[in-house]
Amino acid sequence: MNLVERYLHAVGRRLPAKNRADILAELRSHLNDTLEERFGGQASEEDVAELLKETGEPTKVAASYTGGRQYLIGPELYPVFRMVALIVLAATIGGQLVAIAVGLLAGEAHAAGWNAWAGLVNSIPAALGSVVIVFLILQHFGVNPDLKEKEAWDPKTLPAFEEDEKVKPSEQIVGIVFGSIFLGLLAAFPGKIGFITFPGGAFYPDPVIAQYMGWIILALLAGIGLNVYLLWQGRWTTGSRVAQVAVNLLSIGVLVLLYQGHTAWLAAHGSSGLFPSLVKFGEDIAENIQVLGMESFRLAFGIALVVTVVDTVVELVKLVRKSLRKESVPGN
């Protein structure tokens, strides 16, 4: 991949999505026309590097297209901060509305009252404040918000990347949204995690989930934090893949605890499996509804465990392939 494309990729990561393509097309045309004018299509790598130095460091160039109003977090992180803040805002509102709906289904008339809606309003600044704190930490440890160059910028230092190293923003956005919704539900109903027989019917709490609530929240926060980092980084690296494996291993540990906990609870209550419970459910709803619910939770956690293990194996294979690819390149 030539220096111009690496340069455009670095600039594009810092541009708003709505006009990114137009700006990059304009910038690419300017660079190619200048090279043609100066060198007649015979530009060397040194000539290209010199032109890119004249054009400016990618962060500066991107900031020049965005109006220069990126001060709260800093030009390096502001585009991703804006995206994540909007995602978390939407997820927070959605999660709180779902929580209100669940409360109504559980027969709690006050769920739609003033306190519920006041909680929705109060949750918004709390959620956005958390996002600000995360990005302040990222900026402090990983990004210099000052655009002044301490050393002469060299275009040759732009990182090369391959198509399979690009981060797909949609995947990270989905992870942030659903993670935020789950966190919102856990925060709104810490003692109401379970199931009901029907709208307005009896509520049956899940004691196993309540037992491991702290670990569940930790795993969700780790996943959200990694997705935020990947959105900011824009590409997969060895370090981020290792971090993904670590987050997956944490999730696997939590899922194993939940699966084993439900298995122990079901054994203590004489359950013989999901399908026998369904048969008994038809015979005696009152005595078997909680067993059926716990069997359903165990099945869901079992499926999630298998999916997470498969995803972890895939990430490990990608790590090994990347390591072998580096070893096969002369000079590495």
Distances (CA, A) of 75 to 6, 196, 271: 19, 49, 58
Task: For residues 281 and 153, give the distance between their C-alpha atoms in angstroms, rounded to a whole number.
Answer: 70
Least confident of 86-100, 112-126, 303-317: 112-126
State the Cα–Cα distance between residues 202 and 198, nearest whole angstrom: 8
10 Å Cβ neighbour count for 164? 10
Q: In terms of Cα–Cα distance, which of 76, 87, 83, 88 is closest to 233?
A: 76
Give dist(CA 269, CA 275) in Å, integer: 16
pLDDT at position 10, please? Answer: 83
Instruction: Summarize pLDDT for 277-297 with one digit per residue, the tens.
Output: 555 545 455 556 777 788 888
Rounded CA-CA distance 332/321 in Å is 15
Q: Which residue has the higher pLDDT, 329 or 218?
A: 218
* Residue count (the chain): 332
| 282 compared with 195, residue with greater pLDDT | 195
Reported in sequence order, the residue ranges of the chain that DSSP labels E, i.e. its strands, are 194-196, 203-205
Q: What phi, psi does 194 have (nearest 5°)? A: 175, -135
Query: Given a cut of 90, is residue 247 above it in pLDDT?
Result: yes
CB 61 within 8 A of CB 27: yes
Q: Residue range 235-254: average pLDDT? A: 89
Mean pLDDT of 53-70: 74
Whether residue 251 contacts residue 315, with contact meaning beta carbons closer than 8 Å, is answered with no
Predicted pLDDT of residue 206: 84
Of 81-85, 120-124, 131-135, 227-231, the least confident? 120-124
How confident is the model over 302-331, as pLDDT tens digits? 999 999 999 999 888 888 877 776 555 444
What's the one-letter identity of residue 213? M
pLDDT, position 278: 53
User: What tokens appear for 306 in the block?
Assistant: 């298998």
Among 195, 171, 182, 220, CA closest to 99? 182
The vertex-244 CA angle with 169 and 253, nearest 5°, equals: 130
- Cα distance between residue 255 and residue 307, in whole Å: 11
- List, in order, residues 6 or more apart from 161 with CB less than 8 Å away: 1, 6, 9, 235
Distance in angstroms (rounded) separating the CA atoms of residues 124 and 86: 11
At residue 249, does pLDDT exceed 60? yes
Give the model's confidence band at 149: pLDDT under 50 very low, under 70 low, under 90 confident, else very high.
very low
Q: What does pTM read for this prediction?
A: 0.56
The domain limits of the chain are 1-69, 73-150+164-200, 237-332
Q: Return d(Cα 35, Cα 54) in angstroms, integer.
A: 12
DSSP label at residue 163:
G
**pLDDT band, very low/low/confident/very high, at 122 (cuts 50, 70, 90):** low
Which of 9-18, 58-67, 113-122 has the lowest average pLDDT? Answer: 113-122
pLDDT of residue 193 exceeding 70? yes
Report the C-alpha gap between 223 and 244 in whole angstroms. 8
Q: What percent of the chain has pLDDT over 70?
A: 66
At residue 252, the pLDDT reads 94
pLDDT in tens, 156-191: 666 665 555 777 777 888 888 788 777 776 766 666
pLDDT for the residue numbered 190: 64
Query: Three-state SS for 166?
Result: strand
Is residue 145 over pLDDT 50? Answer: no
5 vs 332, which has greater pLDDT?
A: 5
Residues 287, 288, 289, 295, Cα dihedral to 10°? 150
